[in-house]
Amino acid sequence: MKSLAILGFSVVLGLAGTTAIAQDSPVGPESRGEYVARAANCVACHTLPDGPALAGGLEMATPLGNIYATNITPDKETGIGNYTLADFDASVRQGVAKDGHRLYPAMPYPSYAKITDEDIAAMYDYFMNSVPAVNYSPPENKIPWPLNIRWPLAVWNILFFDDDVYEADESQSDAWNRGAYLVQGLGHCGACHTPRGLAFNEQGYDEDDSEFLAGAFLDNWYASDLTQSNRAGLGRWSKEDVATYLKTGRNIHSTAFGTMDEVIINSTQFLTDDDNDAMATYLVSLSAANDDGDYVYDDSTYALLRSTERRSESGALLFMQQCESCHVDSGNGYPPYMPPMAGNPPVMDPDPASLINIVLNGSSRLVVDGTPDAYRMPGYRTILSDQQIADIVTFVRQGWGNNASVVATADVAALRDLTDLAADRMPVLRMK
């Protein structure tokens, strides 16, 4: 089951071409429409593992109850085979299905509203003419009455939904505008990385909003700050670092984990270098959302781990026993394959959920260029106690100048109950 903590928003990145910025969307080995759909990562939410592509059925946990992704193949009985372009457009950009019922914002239409007419048409053409039809009806949603009543979504839309298509900022470069379009629109990075209000609305949708991409807790992970915050954000990453991460899931600072693996595996690795570079151009332009100070490496942790005193401190001893061989006593790891602990932004997140989760459950395998990753993080939930994991995570968050908050045993126990070991593999979900 794919658990989605805030009204079912999933962690996906993507892109689409926009004639306001470039006359043609990039076209590689796929058609324009397939490129848009691949980049939008439709397959991640609308495909069961090892099931027919885009046939739906994936279970998603929301605060209201569990829902199931719909069949978006062109089957006329169970899919979208009877949708006109106008019907498809209304679903994707307005959140209204063909029969008139409103979609839950598990379909991120508040971001998709920015997509251009040309990209909607290209995607529609792909779904109708290239995707194999699959006759399959997903299970009924499990949201109890009266929470399953959908008309309040119309009120939510009035309060929080802006249906304007992206407009280029003429004061910025073409690359910046392209990146802004991708990040804000089909990429809908903000659906996971932007804090939410009491009505589960994103607290910002573009760079004019101070909380846009400032980081947020989601699905038992903490989606990191993507602004220029120095410690837990991208303030120390170059544009090339960001583009490399989007293409490969790795760079000298960090490695993809959690649901971000799906983004790399199914989406951003397939994008052109120009598009990944455009997103990076936009992201590194964002002002810091959090004044979290400067990161300065502290070698006292290295000295501790090199001395006999390490045996007197639980977290240090456990790190030496379980983590040092990959992440090394200097905390610098062996990037890009074994990430550093020193100065790694997710290590310094204000919420330790991601670090706890990955120590408990390990990581899925990144599959880039068809090759599974050989350096997967193991899970320790069957090896270490809650107290031991809290000690390790606290040691890492406070070592090498990270200076992040202490982790309580109760924090680990709570995530142990809510999560499972990561899958041994994360297959590339082909759309054909």
Tens-place pLDDT, residues 21-71: 333 444 444 689 998 988 888 888 899 988 899 999 998 877 778 899 999
* 173 or 371: which leads in pLDDT: 173
Question: Is residue 102 in some structural domain?
Answer: no
What does the block give as tokens for 231? 């410690």
How many CB atoms lie under 10 A from the CB of residue 105? 24
What does the block give as tokens for 26? 């990039």
Of all residues in the chain, the percent with pLDDT exceeding 90 is: 68
CA–CA separation, 281 and 192 (whole Å): 20
Cβ density class 206-230: b for 16+ within 10 Å, e for less? bbeeebbbbbbbbbbbbbbbbbbbb
CA–CA separation, 260 and 269 (whole Å): 12
Question: Is residue 319 in some structural domain?
Answer: yes
Please give the tally of structural domains in the chain: 1
Query: At 290, is the pLDDT very low, low, confident or very high (cuts 50, 70, 90)?
Result: very high
Mind listing the pLDDT tens digit for each residue in 92-129?
999 999 999 999 888 889 999 999 999 999 999 999 99
Inter-residue contact 256 to 250 (CB < 8 Å): yes
Report the candidate in 6, 36, 44, 43 with the shortest Cα–Cα distance to residue 259: 44
Mean pLDDT of all residues in 238-249: 97
CA–CA separation, 199 and 325 (whole Å): 45
- pLDDT over 70 at 287, yes or no: yes
Mean pLDDT of all residues in 141-169: 91
Question: Is residue 220 in some structural domain?
Answer: no
Query: At 364, is the pLDDT very low, low, confident or very high (cuts 50, 70, 90)?
Result: confident
- Residue 199 sits at the vertex; the CA angle it makes with 115 and 165, to the nearest 5 degrees, is 15
CA–CA separation, 269 and 264 (whole Å): 6
CA–CA separation, 355 and 284 (whole Å): 24
Mean pLDDT of all residues in 217-224: 90
CA–CA separation, 376 and 314 (whole Å): 25
CA–CA separation, 396 and 75 (whole Å): 51
**One-letter identity of residue 8:** G
- pLDDT over 90 at 328, yes or no: yes
Report the candidate in 156, 221, 214 with the shortest Cα–Cα distance to residue 10: 221
Who contacts 218 (Cβ-Cβ below 8 Å, separation ≥6)?
4, 5, 6, 9, 11, 192
Question: Is residue 219 in some structural domain?
Answer: no
Inter-residue contact 421 to 379 (CB < 8 Å): yes
Report the candidate in 405, 398, 391 with the shortest Cα–Cα distance to residue 301: 398
pLDDT at residue 309, as a whole number: 67
CA–CA separation, 2 and 51 (whole Å): 15
Residues spanned by the domain of 334: 300-418
Question: Is residue 189 in some structural domain?
Answer: no
State phi, psi for 94 to the nearest 5 degrees: -120, -15
Report the candidate in 363, 358, 335 with the shortest Cα–Cα distance to residue 407: 358
Inter-residue contact 104 to 153 (CB < 8 Å): yes
pTM: 0.89
Mind listing the pLDDT tens digit for each residue in 245-268?
999 999 999 999 988 988 898 889
Query: At 12, is the pLDDT very low, low, confident or very high (cuts 50, 70, 90)?
Result: very low
Question: Is residue 169 in some structural domain?
Answer: no
Residue 342 sits in a domain whose CATH number is 1.10.760.10
Inter-residue contact 254 to 354 (CB < 8 Å): no
Measured CA to CA in angstroms, residue 314 lies from 50, 310, 317 at distances of 42, 8, 5
Question: Is residue 306 in some structural domain?
Answer: yes
Question: Is residue 34 in some structural domain?
Answer: no
